[in-house]
């Protein structure tokens, strides 16, 4: 009797039952998940990390050392500003070759904009700065 009652209840309710496919989508972008989850996963992992690197010591500067560094930066900024005004005037960079102690600076136009090549004649190191056209 119970079997017949269960079967009839099943047959009556079965047309109203719907299902869908279960689809698994991973969260981790390394396994095919959304790439926007990367930053969240990284910050979550770092916040849970209880192990601290004992070899990474960040020295704390005293107020006097911070003041000294700030003063040095301001003095170097003033010196570089006065050197800039002496070499280039108030009009800014102009095409040509310039020498600042052991530094050789070449300024020339290029297809990308104004190119500034800086060469340290004592070490041979050089760098290039490109100022794009407007």
Q: Based on C-alpha coordinates, what's the Rg of the chain?
A: 34
| Residues of the chain above pLDDT 90, percent | 8
Classify 92 in phi/psi space as left (phi over 0), alpha (psi -120 to 50) or beta: left
- The arithmetic mean of pLDDT across residues 48-73, rounded, is 85
Domain residue extents for the chain: 94-133
- The arithmetic mean of pLDDT across residues 22-39, rounded, is 86
Contact 93, 107 (CB under 8 A): yes
Compute the distance between CA of residue 61 and CA of residue 67 in angstroms, rounded to an integer: 10
Q: Which residue has the higher pLDDT, 82 or 68?
A: 68
Q: What is the pLDDT of residues 76-119, one digit of tens each?
A: 888 888 777 776 677 777 788 888 788 888 988 888 888 889 99
User: Does the pLDDT of residue 134 top 70, yes or no?
Assistant: no
Contact 100, 93 (CB under 8 A): no
pLDDT (0 to 100) of residue 123: 92
């Amino acid at each position: 009797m119970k079997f017949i009652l269960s079967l009839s209840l099943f047959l009556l309710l079965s047309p109203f039952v719907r299902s869908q496919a279960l689809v698994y989508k991973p969260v981790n972008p390394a396994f095919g998940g959304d790439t926007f989850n990367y930053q969240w996963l990284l910050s979550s992992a770092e916040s849970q990390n209880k192990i601290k690197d004992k070899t990474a010591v960040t020295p704390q500067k005293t107020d006097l050392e911070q003041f000294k560094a700030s003063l040095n930066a301001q003095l170097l900024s003033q010196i570089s500003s006065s050197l800039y005004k002496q070499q280039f005037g108030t009009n800014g960079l102009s095409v040509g070759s310039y020498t600042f102690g052991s530094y050789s600076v070449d300024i020339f136009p290029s297809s990308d904009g104004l190119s500034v090549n800086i060469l340290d004649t004592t070490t041979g190191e050089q760098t290039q700065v490109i100022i794009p056209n407007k």
